[in-house]
Structure 1
Amino acid sequence: MATKAYELYGVPTAPEDPEQEYMTVQETAYVLMCSVSWLRRFLREHDALCGRNGRRGRIITNREQRAAIHATRSAGDPRTGRSVPRQRRPRRTAVKTSVAA
């Protein structure tokens, strides 16, 4: 069962206007079609792609930052230099040979 905090802050929500200047993390995740937890981890690593609002530090993004997040995300897997991460293949099990008696 999800907690009350998760239901408030962990679920992507549709913005009133998808073209508005500033959006919260939940609205940005909805527009970019990703999870809120992934977006928070991404923004923690890339401080320049988000802003803070108010004393409590609510994370907001503007149009340019959302475009940069999308471009970074669409660039592919930076660990291997591939444009798309490789699909995992199922492991082959070793073939047992029977010993002739």
Structure 2
Amino acid sequence: MPRDKSQYHRPQPPADPNQEYMTVQETAYVLKCGLKWLRELLRARPELCGRNGERGRIVTDREQRAAIHAVRSAGDPRTGRSIPRQRRRPAARKPALATT
């Protein structure tokens, strides 16, 4: 019987936003970031998370969430830009030359 695994792919609100440990879904909800982005970050930087049991749930504590927030606020390391990118104004149009 297939189980619905959609709960693992969506951020979920925590029971208490100030609790010590949160799952990766609750962490994504609190930090207002995508779950896919957060999982990729935690895969690349395993010191920012812990596991509950052997190969169990990914959990974060307060210090790890603060470090994740600092990484996210630092910007995109690939481009050196802050996130989100600044929108550019369209270039002003030059007036057409008047012909007489």
> Which TM class, normalised by the smaller chain length?
0.7 to 0.9
Task: Describe the SS at the equivalent of 1:78.
Answer: coil
Note if 1:54 corresponds to 2:53: yes
Partner of 2:4: 4
Matches within 5 A, 1:37-48: 37-48=36-47
Does structure 2 retain, via aligned residues, the 8 Å contact 1:77–1:85?
no
Structure 2 unaligned segments of length 5 or more: list them: 89-100
Structure 1 unaligned segments of length 5 or more: list them: 90-101
Alignment: residue pair count = 86
Note if 1:16 corresponds to 2:4: no
Matches within 5 A, 1:1-101: 4-5=4-5, 7-84=6-83, 86=85
Measured against aligned partners, the alpha-carbon deviations of 1:16-42 in whole angstroms (never above 9, x if no partner) come to 110100000000000011121111111
Identical columns (%): 70
